[in-house]
Amino acid sequence: MSEPNETLLNEHLAAENAHDLERIMATYGESPLIVLNGQRIDGHTAIREFHRSFGFGGDGSFSQVQVTERIRHRASDAIIIEQTLTGVHSGTWMRHGPTGRSFEAHLCTIYRFDDRRLLASEHVYFDLAWLERQLTRAI
């Protein structure tokens, strides 16, 4: 892994909030990896589909998706961000049809970079059950 690239990470986050799939994908290196609560999403094709199907590409399970940074931590080999993810459940997600309900989830993401200072990996942690309860209103 390489030294963190804060400028590239800022572009990545801005592209996610703009729902610009091409800009999002341009921030990833040669062999990117997302680990979402332990689930591996490997390579450009899978990562593109993950972003698209979630709602970062303008369609998918959620609309109006926004990632808001709460706190940024810097390490010699990574940037760790505590974030708030919001959106509206507008398409099928997991086993749930669209509800039109808004959600808010707190995440922690560890971003690492490759030798070209592009995104090599994202390790994302959040309470999936909390998100599901918001969509079904079993809070």
Residue 128: the pLDDT is 86
Residue 47: the pLDDT is 98
Topology given in CATH for the domain delimited by 6-136: Nuclear Transport Factor 2; Chain: A, (3.10.450)
Read off the pLDDT band of 125 (50, 70, 90): very high
Answer whether 133's CB lies under 8 Å from 99's CB: no
Query: pTM of the full predicted structure?
Result: 0.93
Domain extent listing, the chain: 6-136
Shortest CA distance to 62 belongs to which of 9, 139, 135?
135
* SS3 sequence of 31-76: EEEEEECCEEEEHHHHHHHHHHHHCCCCCCCEEEEEEEEEEEEECC
* pLDDT higher than threshold 60 for residue 61: yes
Radius of gyration of the CA atoms of the chain, in A? 15
Distance CA 35, CA 117 (A): 19
